[in-house]
Amino acid sequence: MDQKFIRNFSIIAHIDHGKSTLADRLIEFTGALDKRLMKDQVLDKMEIERERGITIKAQTVRLYYDADDGNRYQLNLIDTPGHVDFTYEVSRSLAACEGALLVVDASQGVEAQTIANVYLALDNDLELIPVLNKIDLPGADPEKVKEEIEEVIGLDASEAILASAKEGTGTKEILEAIVNKIPPPKGDLNKPLKAMVFDSWYDSYQGVVTLVRVIDGKIKKGDKIIFMSSKKEYEVGRVGVFTPLSTDVDELSAGEVGFIIAGIKELKDVNIGDTITHPDKPTDKPFPGFKKVKPVVFCGIYPVDTKDYDDLRDALEKLSLNDSSITFEPETSAALGFGFRCGFLGLLHMEIVQERLEREFDLNLITTAPTVIYRVKKKNGEMLEIDNPASLPPIGDIEEIEEPFIKATIIVPSEYLGGVLQLLQDKRGVQKNFNYISEQRVILEYEIPLAEVVIDFYDKLKSRTKGYASFDYEFSGYKPSELVKLDILINKEPVDALSIIVHKDNAYYKGRELVDKLKELIPRQMFDVAIQAAIGNKIVARSTVKAYRKNVTAKCYGGDITRKKKLLEKQKEGKKRMKQIGKVDVPQEAFLAVLKLG
């Protein structure tokens, strides 16, 4: 299609502000799906897709819109992942567009992810169209939210579109704005092929499906192609678009967006952000800014039962077919035996993977507390990157330790400000900015060690603000910190899987808290269990779990039989997740005790 009539755009929004609902309205309005399919939505669509042997990636769709100017436009709506862990993917999806709808809930206002997404969009030179959604709600205050957009984001909101994605208000105005405000692509059809990979996934029938934005030239079935970063070559087997059903097309040309299937077996052979070209007539310049994503949060994952080790490895291999950003390497722990050190893009990503391992693969696992990568400079000049506290060299050998920091943006209603400022201080945060967005809300910018954020920051932020604070972050780099390793000893034996790295100033206090928490979590046994926290050779806190004397049900004072039963069942349940450390039964929760402090 003539690029004049193509518009590539994304919808960016804070979670729950209405991105998916608005996408549904746009699909419906342009008649891409007939009413019957539209009503039954995703599941039905998936069913149809399965028959065709290809999975659908929700909301990356090609729509045709007959605009008021009498022309028919090809609109490509490009979906972006919704979470901060996947910032790089979001940024690549945005790089495939010329513009974006900036959706803000008119009853909530600008939130942290609104701002983070706007920055990514501006980095990619996108034209932004503000849309104030949910104007049907009684609490909607579009004028105030317009002011917030101008104040906080610095974007002219005078022409913001008032919409209700729920009721369909404003849909046509939005489509007209897409056509009139977002610039068309400016590629060159006659130049060698240059296409950017912005998404890919594994389909069990088709192998790897790759979404591309063609910058210059064209790509069609039968073409030999090369991925410029990995240098891997393939032959294109299918080219198509989602309408939202997958539909084969003859070719994708400059400015267009679609999928290719090229006999690629493994997801890890396709890098997001990579450039595809023709090996015999290559583009001289790959798409700029390619970077390989690296995990930033790590934890140990161990089977409770040693004989499940092979199943765990198989499960991790299967999961990484669909998610090439997971890394895993065999690891041995004196306490936990054989397992894996796994790397993730962020906390949410880690939680999703852990949950899938347990739910989909029915594995009984022990996971250790999340850590970041520390850079350790030894006195002998050697540099180490440490993703497991247990592998930190002895204090005496260390010259300096550097840890990763983030720049956090937090928006909080002023009534909760006190609690949030305290939390940020507890987390070693340094204030960089403090501004009132309106009389009721404050935007904060802090620099915080990532290690403090991977440990229960988000949960605490939510509980201290009744869920009303929003949070987003980006990396700001490595800096030296005074860090020490805190070891935990159970009955005098150090338990490597319980070691954590903490700031020197908090070490005593953290040691005390951790020992107390472990005392709560480790059940009584036939003998006393001594729990100690140590820094180097120095014990900084101790506590004892006393041996039990009587039957546990004695606690119930005879009475309620169902309660007794429940208690016994709970114990049995707990038993499944026990790991024997020496002679002591230690429950899974103990290995995550550090997440539950304070």
19 is in an annotated binding site: yes
Per partner kind, with CB cut-offs from 5 to 8 A, the member of ligand GDP, Mg ion, none near residue 261 is none
Tokens of 67: 């605009």
Q: Please state, in angstroms and rounded to a whole number, the distance separating the CA atoms of residues 103 and 117.
A: 11
Per partner kind, with CB cut-offs from 5 to 8 A, the member of Mg ion, ligand GDP, none near residue 13 is ligand GDP
* CA nearest neighbour of 148 among 157, 140, 139, 135: 157
User: What's the min distance (Å) between Cβ of 62 and ligand GDP?
Assistant: 20
Cβ atoms of 32 and 117 within 8 Å: the answer is no
- Between 303 and 342, how does the x/- string for binding to ligand GDP read (CB under 6 A)? ----------------------------------------
Q: Is 165 in the site for ligand GDP (CB under 6 A)?
A: yes
**Crossing angle between the packed helical segments 457-464 and 417-426, to the nearest 10 degrees:** 160
Among 1, 2, 4, 15, binds ligand GDP (CB under 6 A): 15
Considering the complex, state which of residue 348 and residue 578 has its C-beta at the smaller distance from ligand GDP: 348
User: What's the min distance (Å) between Cβ of 478 and Mg ion?
Assistant: 34
Q: Please state, in angstroms and rounded to a whole number, the distance separating the CA atoms of residues 215 and 66.
A: 24
User: What's the min distance (Å) between Cβ of 16 and Mg ion?
Assistant: 8
Q: Please state, in angstroms and rounded to a whole number, the distance separating the CA atoms of residues 211 and 233.
A: 17
596 is in an annotated binding site: no
The count of chain residues that interact with ligand GDP, using the rule CB under 6 A, is 15
133 is in an annotated binding site: yes
53 is in an annotated binding site: no
180 is in an annotated binding site: no
State CA 371 to chain mean position distance.
16
555 is in an annotated binding site: no
Looking at 13-21, 169-177, 365-373, 515-523, which segment touches Mg ion (CB under 5 A)? 13-21
Q: What part of residues 18-57 is at the interface with ligand GDP (CB under 6 A)?
A: 18-21
Residues 6+ apart with CB under 8 A from 505: 482
Whole-angstrom CA distances from 204 to 124, 339, 352, 353, 373 are 33, 28, 21, 19, 34
Per partner kind, with CB cut-offs from 5 to 8 A, the member of ligand GDP, Mg ion, none near residue 21 is ligand GDP
Among 20, 364, 481, 553, binds Mg ion (CB under 5 A): 20
Among 10, 76, 117, 164, binds ligand GDP (CB under 6 A): 164
Among 55, 67, 150, 166, binds ligand GDP (CB under 6 A): 166
Q: Please state, in angstroms and rounded to a whole number, the distance separating the CA atoms of residues 174 and 254.
A: 25
Considering the complex, state which of residue 59 and residue 333 has its C-beta at the smaller distance from ligand GDP: 59
Per partner kind, with CB cut-offs from 5 to 8 A, the member of Mg ion, ligand GDP, none near residue 164 is ligand GDP
Considering the complex, state which of residue 20 and residue 476 has its C-beta at the smaller distance from Mg ion: 20
Q: Is 13 in the site for ligand GDP (CB under 6 A)?
A: yes
Phi then psi for residue 198, to 5 deg, are -120, -5
Phi then psi for residue 517, to 5 deg, are -65, -45
Q: Please state, in angstroms and rounded to a whole number, the distance separating the CA atoms of residues 303 and 313.
A: 10
* CA nearest neighbour of 114 among 106, 124, 104, 122: 104
Cβ atoms of 453 and 296 within 8 Å: the answer is no
Strand stretches in 319-397, DSSP E: 327-333, 337-344, 365-367, 374-378, 383-386
Whole-angstrom CA distances from 334 to 29, 122, 496 are 61, 49, 7
- Between 242 and 281, how does the x/- string for binding to ligand GDP read (CB under 6 A)? ----------------------------------------
Cis preceding-peptide flag for 244 (omega within 30 of 0): yes
Looking at 14-22, 38-46, 49-57, 248-256, which segment touches ligand GDP (CB under 6 A)? 14-22
* CA nearest neighbour of 215 among 242, 189, 181, 233: 189
Q: What part of residues 123-162 is at the interface with ligand GDP (CB under 6 A)?
A: 133-134, 136-137
20 is in an annotated binding site: yes
Per partner kind, with CB cut-offs from 5 to 8 A, the member of ligand GDP, Mg ion, none near residue 133 is ligand GDP
Position 228, amino acid: M
Q: Is 21 in the site for Mg ion (CB under 5 A)?
A: no
User: What's the min distance (Å) between Cβ of 10 and ligand GDP?
Assistant: 12
Q: Please state, in angstroms and rounded to a whole number, the distance separating the CA atoms of residues 496 and 335.
A: 6
Residues of the binding site for GTP: 16-21, 133-136
- Chain contacts with Mg ion (rule: CB under 5 A): 19-20
Residues of the binding site: 16-21, 133-136
- Chain contacts with ligand GDP (rule: CB under 6 A): 13, 15-21, 133-134, 136-137, 164-166
